[in-house]
Structure 1
Amino acid sequence: MRLRKTIIIALIITATIAAIWFGVGLIVMKNAIISYQPPKSGSSYEDLASTKCFNVARFSKLKRIELTIPSKEDGCLLSGTLIYNPTPSAKTIIYSHMITGSRWDVLKGGKIDSLLARGFNVLTFDQRAHGKSEGTVPSYGFLEKHDLDQWIDTVATIFPNGIIGVEGVSTGAATAILHAGEINPEKETYRKVAFYVFECSYSDLAKQLAYKINQHYYLPNVALSTSLKILDHPFNGFNIYNVSPVKAARYISVPVLFVHSKADSYVPTQMSEELYKAVHAPKMLLLVPKVNHAEAVDSPTLYWNTYDSFLKTIVKIKR
């Protein structure tokens, strides 16, 4: 009788723990993907123009065109802006913003002015389910890497035989890494990206979500892993385990620059170090002290000196 009672208690405890694991995993997936809602303010052009983060008067004089392309994955319309360099150029940076951001994040920290000063045109776009782009939920790079590829093809058509670079931040960087390792190696030469800049990317989506569970709920990573294996695809519409930048990084074949903030409390700094080690192509790594997630450009001297060194010594592009 005592043994039976002990077994029942053990089963109840196990079931309770399992329910907590599944519940927390479902909550995280629901908040991050299923019920995702982009912010209604903070990242629009009007919001950023009201700050002193860039030269509004200069920007208003720049030639730019609005672009809309249909996604080949599901037909949703994707919206972007091509900003031409004041001095005609065939060099273009494609900017891939972070989750909850918008195409106008490229205005933060004077980044747009700095890129234009280095002779680049800038194509910046709203990720699916952000800004003016259609889509109901983000897939954290799973579909976005194909969207990015379409923007690359668009730039290659506008500037035939030009130089294309891609810069991504946070989730946008993870998307860029997936493209760099899974798609770019197979592209035709004139549509191939010449170099990438990845800032504060996670190395693996499942690991990143598990890290957030541990950070916010103080539960071990197995809590998320268990939930994902059962609940993943039916709820998300894609397999989170297929969003692994570190696996894609092994196949990158062009120069890359990794940037990460040492004080990053959102994505662990060691994830960029892990990604850096996985890449066999020419590479550089910059760890910026004191600043938080996606704020490396707030240390402009260190950031842009490293950026210039990367372009000159690794990519072999003259400023």
Structure 2
Amino acid sequence: MQQAKKRRLLASVAAGTLGLSYLTAEYLFNFAFKRVDYVPETSADKQKYAAQYWRYVDWFKKVEKEHWTWSTDDGDDQMSAYFIPADDSTKAVIISHGYKGNGETMANYAKMFHELGFNVLLPDDRGHGQSAGKYISFGWLDRLDYLTWLNRLIKRLGAQTKLLLFGVSMGGATVEMLSGEDLPPQVKAIIADCGYASIHEELTYLLKRQFHLPEYPIYPLVSTINRHRLGYYLGDISSTDQLKKNHRPIFFIHGEKDTYVPASMALENYQATDAPKELWIVDHASHAESFWLDPTAYRAHIQAFLNKYFY
């Protein structure tokens, strides 16, 4: 009798624990993956750059540009991007934005590349900005969308165009994951700033650091929820796996003091590819701060990489 009561109690505790774990996973999935129709306030360490940031946004709003769209397979959902043309230039960069950002939030990079003579394309990823999508795919579905954007650029600029892939944070991981796809020959080089090595590694790191939660059972439950909502497990999302298939020159940039995506992930990504590669760990820079810390030095490093591998 006592044994039966004990088994029922243990079963009840186990069921309650599982239920609580699922509710926690559902909350975290919605918190991290659900679309947000606004750009959250930047982190405290970068608010000191607000005046400079809004000057770049003002430039973006005023510069001549075109709104490009295309429809997904079902025809109901549209993907959105802004194209900033450059006079008499057949080189172009596609700029991939960060988590819960949009193309406009990359105005500083857009202006830098435009001044370097590039046509600039600024997509809004799935679940961001003016593009469709209920959920954020952390670059995994976006990498395939970017194949469409690349073909649109080639159609607009001609087969002789030379294309550069550039991204920051989630955008850095997006172009790293894109590197493993069958890219058109016009893509000549890639620049990835503070991209993560894999979603598994990134989310388990943040679970511990931000929420003080263990990997198990939360991460597998979030991954299962993602499988039901978006069609794939989180273990599929890996920059390092995709970089193993890359053969294009790639430049990795990462802030030394990044506590959101640790700088150790830059080394993982660097080691994953056998392509021509360079790595710049930026002293004193936090997450996605490398440009803002010294825009002149940032531009000079990118120009040096382009001189070596792109032109």
Q: TM-score range by the shorter chain?
A: 0.7 to 0.9
Counterpart amino acid of 1:65?
A: E
Counterpart CA distance in 2 for 1:56 and 1:40 is: 16
Specify the alignment match of 2:122 in structure 1: 124
Specify the alignment match of 2:304 in structure 1: 309
Number of corresponding residues: 302
Specify the alignment match of 1:182 in structure 2: 181
Counterpart CA distance in 1 for 2:27 and 2:310 is: 47
The alpha-carbon deviation at position 226 of structure 1 amounts to 3.3
The alpha-carbon deviation at position 300 of structure 1 amounts to 1.6
- How high is the sequence identity, in percent, across the aligned residues? 24
Counterpart amino acid of 1:136?
A: K
Matching of residue 265 in structure 1 with residue 259 in structure 2: yes
Structure 1 residues 292 and 170: alpha-carbon distance in aligned structure 2, compared to 1, 3 A threshold = same
Which of 172, 197, 216 is 1:222 aligned to?
A: 216
The alpha-carbon deviation at position 15 of structure 1 amounts to 5.5
The alpha-carbon deviation at position 77 of structure 1 amounts to 0.8
1:212 is paired with a residue of what secondary structure?
Answer: helix
Q: How does 1:102-251 map to 2 (within 5 A)?
A: 102-108=102-108, 111-160=109-158, 161-184=160-183, 187=184, 189=185, 192-228=186-222, 230-251=224-245
Specify the alignment match of 2:46 in structure 1: none
Counterpart CA distance in 1 for 2:229 and 2:156 is: 39
Q: Retained in 2: the 8 A contact 1:262–1:291?
A: yes
Counterpart amino acid of 1:26?
A: E
Q: Retained in 1: the 8 A contact 2:188–2:310?
A: no
The alpha-carbon deviation at position 51 of structure 1 amounts to 5.7
Counterpart CA distance in 1 for 2:2 and 2:81 is: 68
Counterpart CA distance in 2 for 1:230 and 1:52 is: 40
Counterpart CA distance in 1 for 2:190 and 2:103 is: 18
The alpha-carbon deviation at position 316 of structure 1 amounts to 4.3
1:210 is paired with a residue of what secondary structure?
Answer: helix
Q: Which runs of 5+ in 2 are unaligned?
A: 43-49
1:259 is paired with a residue of what secondary structure?
Answer: strand
- Pairwise CA RMSD of aligned residues? 2.9
Counterpart amino acid of 2:306?
A: L
Q: Retained in 2: the 8 A contact 1:63–1:83?
A: yes
Counterpart amino acid of 1:132?
A: Q
1:112-146 CA deviation, whole Å, 9 max, x = no partner?
A: 33212212111112112222222222212222111
Structure 1 residues 235 and 41: alpha-carbon distance in aligned structure 2, compared to 1, 3 A threshold = closer
TM-score (norm 2): 0.85
Specify the alignment match of 2:289 in structure 1: 295
The alpha-carbon deviation at position 12 of structure 1 amounts to 6.4
TM-score (norm 1): 0.83
The alpha-carbon deviation at position 282 of structure 1 amounts to 0.6
